């Protein structure tokens, strides 16, 4: 078994001179995964038409294969997220998956869609466009701050549902606050009120244990190129079996109207190697001991919250049961409170201190979101603590 910490940087191309506390933003595939992807690219180039037009999705006869390349890869991914392979397809990213559902679900004038103020910006924009195009009312729920327990989230969402609410779009792991939301309880409450649930699981696979069907939601889209170590861009879209027939790919192509798999697999020419290499990242997590990986990342994230707020004289209010591989902590008021202050501090930390960490403004102060990956350790946290302390 590996020893987690900075020695794990040997598995990445990351610059060891940079303290990289931002794995959650665009991910960083390990070298082994990149090599697998390159091997696939070279295999494609030896017989491009055979690979792309036949083997990839079996759109044309390929009697030497019993299963398409995409279906073969999705089997390993499905096992990782607790799904049946039939209920899962690859998409380039969460944004594509969410758009597919938003543009497919039957909503119209008089209906209401609910999102929260924790929603990722691109997802909130997609919900707004879909609502405007169909004359649907889009409401944004402002979540309580601070969130003291998972029950606070469920209660706030239930209170916001109305007789007109037909769809809730909600994060599993919120992008800025890093809170792990109680999706199973949210879905149960929504189901009792005939409200469909679409989940943005961008940060979930690889950062928390995940069994999508057990959550009780209608659709779930996630990225594999963040914590599951797939190459960019690689995501998934899961659907309850009875909700698959209505789904349409946002880009109309060869599989349009031909069923769930064809809709998302018989598409215009693209580089499929990110999806086909995804099982390699999952295999690495298994070899490292996935539960050990989770325990290390979650423990380091929690330690970071305690160390940083202790050094900076601030207080973090994240409930332990809502913390995962990322955690968001408040910075001292002395470093600013505006979006401009956040941008300046983030740039200064990168240029002057070689620390990459997201900083944002909310609730009249600045916040830092810490990603704790297996290549991070306490020394990275201490460097961030010192860098901010020097500016007080």
Share of the chain above pLDDT 70, in %: 100
Residues 15 and 54 in one domain: no
Same domain, 180 and 265: yes
Pairing of strands 326-330, 235-239: unpaired
Report the CATH number that the domain containing residue 373 is assigned in CATH: 3.90.1150.10
Q: What is the 3-state secondary structure (H, E, C) of 148-172?
A: CCHHHHHHHHHHHCCCCEEEEEEEC
Q: How many domains does the structure of the chain reveal? A: 2
Number of Cβ atoms within 10 Å of the Cβ of 61: 8
- Contact assessment for residue 90 and residue 264, using Cβ atoms and an 8 Å cutoff: yes
Domain-ending residue, one of 240, 265, 282: 282
Beta bridge partners of 96: none
Question: Of the candidates 229, 323, 295, which has an alpha carbon nearest to the alpha carbon of residue 27?
Answer: 229
Average pLDDT for residues 51-62, to the nearest whole number?
94
Query: In which domain, by residue range, is 206 found?
Result: 47-282
Task: Note the pLDDT of residue 1.
Answer: 62
Let me know how long the chain is.
392
User: Do the Cβ atoms of 182 and 150 come closer than 8 Å?
Assistant: yes
- 278-319 pLDDT, tens digit each: 999 999 999 999 999 999 999 999 999 999 999 999 999 999
Do 138 and 225 lie in one domain? The reply is: yes
CA torsion, ordered 82, 25, 276, 228, to nearest 10 deg: -40
- Domain boundary (230, 264, 282) is at 282
Residue 194: how many CB atoms within 10 A of its CB? 10
Same domain, yes or no, for 90 and 216? yes
> In the chain, what is the greatest distance between 2 CA atoms, to the nearest angstrom?
68
| pLDDT score for 8 | 97
Q: Is the pLDDT of residue 104 over 90?
A: yes
Domain ends where: 232, 257, 282?
282
| pLDDT higher than threshold 80 for residue 151 | yes
CA nearest to 145, candidates 365, 335, 326, 388? 365
pTM here is 0.96
């Amino acid at each position: 078994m590996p020893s987690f910490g900075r020695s794990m940087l040997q598995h990445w191309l990351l610059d060891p001179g940079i303290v990289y506390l931002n794995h959650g933003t665009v991910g960083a595939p390990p070298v082994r995964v990149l090599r697998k992807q390159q091997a696939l690219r070279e295999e494609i180039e030896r017989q491009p038409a055979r690979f792309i037009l036949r083997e990839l999705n079996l759109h044309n006869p390929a009697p030497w294969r019993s299963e398409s390349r995409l279906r073969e890869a999705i089997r390993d991914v499905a096992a990782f997220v607790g799904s049946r392979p039939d209920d899962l397809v690859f998409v380039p990213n969460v944004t594509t998956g969410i758009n597919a559902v938003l543009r497919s679900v039957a909503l119209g004038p008089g209906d209401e869609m609910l999102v929260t103020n924790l929603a990722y910006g691109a997802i909130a924009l997609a919900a707004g466009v879909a609502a405007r195009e169909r004359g649907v009312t889009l409401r944004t729920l402002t979540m309580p701050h601070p969130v003291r327990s998972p029950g606070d989230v469920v209660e706030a969402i239930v209170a916001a549902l109305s007789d007109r609410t037909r769809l809730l779009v909600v994060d599993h792991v919120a992008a800025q606050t890093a809170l792990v939301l109680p999706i199973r309880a949210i879905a149960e409450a929504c189901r009792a009120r005939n409200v469909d649930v679409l989940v943005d699981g961008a940060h979930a696979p690889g950062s928390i244990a995940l069994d999508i069907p057990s959550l009780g939601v209608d659709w779930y889209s996630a990225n594999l190129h963040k914590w599951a170590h797939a190459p960019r861009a690689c995501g998934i879209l899961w659907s309850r079996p009875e909700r698959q027939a209505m789904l349409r790919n946002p880009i109309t192509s060869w599989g349009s109207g031909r069923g769930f798999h064809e809709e998302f697999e018989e598409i215009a020419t693209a580089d499929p190697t990110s999806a086909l290499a995804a099982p390699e990242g999952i295999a690495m997590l298994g070899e490292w001991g996935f539960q050990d990986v989770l325990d290390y990342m979650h423990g380091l994230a929690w330690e970071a919250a305690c160390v940083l707020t202790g050094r900076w004289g601030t207080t973090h209010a994240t409930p332990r049961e809502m913390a995962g591989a990322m955690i968001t902590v408040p910075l001292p008021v002395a470093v600013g409170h505006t979006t401009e202050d956040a941008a300046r501090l983030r740039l200064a930390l990168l240029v002057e201190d070689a620390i990459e960490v997201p900083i944002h403004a909310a609730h009249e102060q600045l916040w830092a979101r810490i990603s704790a990956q297996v290549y991070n350790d306490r020394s990275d946290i201490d460097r961030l603590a010192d860098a901010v302390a020097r500016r007080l």
